[in-house]
Structure 1
């Protein structure tokens, strides 16, 4: 995969070393990782995908998501927050006007904004009512609002009475916005993916991403494919993190099982077979992710010239990557205990967090439907129909 330059790589490694020291304890505590989010703000990595013309680093998406993968090896909650920050910025570039892109991306760099999510297009609990010529009023509740806590700006969605989806950019502290500390799931425990309530929140006309708007062209339809690619890299990173944790545990063991002829666990044929399976699954998923991101970056560079068929080919590659990464991550995070033994289940280690994190995250939208999309392509030659999930 594409890698960031040496200076940023050193910054990332220092960040990950500090996160790793508290990852297990923070998994137990849940809540908002304010200190770790502050470190992320100070690292400069929040500017990674912002084009150079707006003051950012101008990294391509392969590079940006490779950082997501490396973060997920250590802490998939923080990887999720980092990735969704960049997804919101990409959404502005895909759905917004040039003036909006210049304004919001420029301010992100100048003011160090951290972006949160209150978009969730499946949740129709927030309604939009016209506010004369001034825009709309958003009212209702939105679930799964990852990163809303401690953010500076939110992408928020609401539905008009005619069913049309509106997406607006609003300051997180705008009057009428309440963020609830109600995310307490078994995994991804520090993504702050809880509820946001909008009580008659004003969204001005120039704060709406309606020109060209959501999914308005094959290029704009790259947004869901970026979201799916983010998921792939998080799953892959979790699997790689689980493999590394298992490896450290196995190599630290001093004696094999009593029935084994091996001198040490690392020479046991069954243990070696498990590690072979783990490596093969993750390497296959990594190569599929690398191919999908190469195709995605190429499509991104095409801009509005991108055709439906070209976008469809990327969608197939991304779907294959996501299924492979989900299966590999789940399998390694589950089976790692077959090669680490009973001591690795000590509560203080919280090694089960790898499985809990990938299990929660892979329920984002059903893998079965991704496999069905691939079946439609393999059998009938039908490309995935663009939606916010394909």
Structure 2
């Protein structure tokens, strides 16, 4: 390798390492008062301020010439934060994937502008783009065309940052054409109002709630592009949008499992069982194996997703189905490991706050059916097909 090439490789490695070093410092800070903040359950105003001050909101955008991080680094940052505080990890995971929305749905020029603005202004993204119409077929968000732009109306449940987001990205049905369009809306726009969720079981600091749009003006430049109707009309790269979000959340689930196990290990000598007893050794061996197995499966899916995202519009038409099947496997294994580990650790250690890991795991995995994912995996294994959702 030439000196110039070595310098370039070193610079790239340092660029990846810097966000991770920052994330470790932020994670240590978050871990110090995680129990108190979970009990308070307040909107994540202070948490977002910590992320913004550390530069992580700006860092976690798609990689560009002067900003952003690659997929594997972004997921590693999410994992690091989630191990200390899974609510903040979920907030950061969704922000990162929402920042990819321009590449999934818009033109390259519009996506680049969105990412530059996000990095420059440290914008926090929230919202949600659905992969299909809700049950019953009644849209919760509609767009009414004007002579220039649209009016957006309706309400949408948001999983994170509802009161602190700078931008919302959502999909809405055009009342005239029937097209489903993905739009971005500044949170401070007239007609936008939010309502935080109260007394959540878990992920209490993530900032979940509902956002309402009452005749909110949407300019043409705020329309990223159409959301495809079905699998057949979905471009291969756009098909990565849904599994990318689910995979980012796998890193949050893995963080919950590893955080619970680590905290139980630290508390075990003063807990209910002797740290050198055969029963506790067997229990921790089982749980550590489950966590490491999940980590290996998630890493394989992360590597596959990273390769697919790097391919961009040149991605092979069959690759999204293969990646989605790996993500579904990661979801299944991670959910089972997180729920099993967080159920067992309170039996092994007597430490305050261990219950929060179980509550967080339950809420994070509540809307993802293991049976549904296993059927998807089986369909891909038998037929080579995969239905995203």
TM-score scaled by structure 2?
A: 0.89
Task: Tell me the equivalent position of 1:96.
Answer: 106
The offset of 1:5, in angstroms, is: 4.3
**1:1-390 paired onto structure 2 within 5 Å:** 5-51=16-62, 53=64, 55-57=66-68, 59-120=69-130, 124-132=139-147, 134-161=148-175, 163-210=178-225, 216-253=234-271, 256=273, 265-340=274-349, 343-344=350-351, 349-378=352-381, 380-386=382-388, 389=389
The offset of 1:102, in angstroms, is: 2.4
**Alpha-carbon distance in structure 1 between the residues aligned to 2:15 and 2:127:** 26
**Alpha-carbon distance in structure 1 between the residues aligned to 2:305 and 2:371:** 23
**Alpha-carbon distance in structure 1 between the residues aligned to 2:106 and 2:238:** 10
**Alpha-carbon distance in structure 2 between the residues aligned to 1:367 and 1:66:** 24
- The C-alpha deviation readout for 1:227-248, integer Å capped at 9, x for no partner, is 1101211111100000001101
CA RMSD in angstroms comes to: 2.2
**Alpha-carbon distance in structure 2 between the residues aligned to 1:208 and 1:358:** 34
- The C-alpha deviation readout for 1:114-161, integer Å capped at 9, x for no partner, is 1121545555322221123x1221111111342222121111222234
Q: What secondary structure is seen at the aligned counterpart in 1 of 2:301?
A: helix
Q: Which consecutive aligned stretches of 4+ in structure 1 deviate over 6 angstroms post-superposition?
A: 211-215
Question: Compared with structure 1, are the counterparts of its residues 303 and 92 closer, same or farther at alpha carbon in structure 2 (3 Å cutoff)?
Answer: same
Question: Compared with structure 1, are the counterparts of its residues 180 and 211 closer, same or farther at alpha carbon in structure 2 (3 Å cutoff)?
Answer: closer
Is the Cα contact below 8 Å between 1:68 and 1:82 reproduced in 2? yes
Q: Which segment drifts farther, 42-51 or 309-318?
A: 42-51
The offset of 1:298, in angstroms, is: 1.1
The offset of 1:193, in angstroms, is: 1.4
Question: Compared with structure 1, are the counterparts of its residues 37 and 376 closer, same or farther at alpha carbon in structure 2 (3 Å cutoff)?
Answer: same
Question: Compared with structure 1, are the counterparts of its residues 165 and 184 closer, same or farther at alpha carbon in structure 2 (3 Å cutoff)?
Answer: farther
Is the Cα contact below 8 Å between 2:126 and 2:161 reproduced in 1? yes
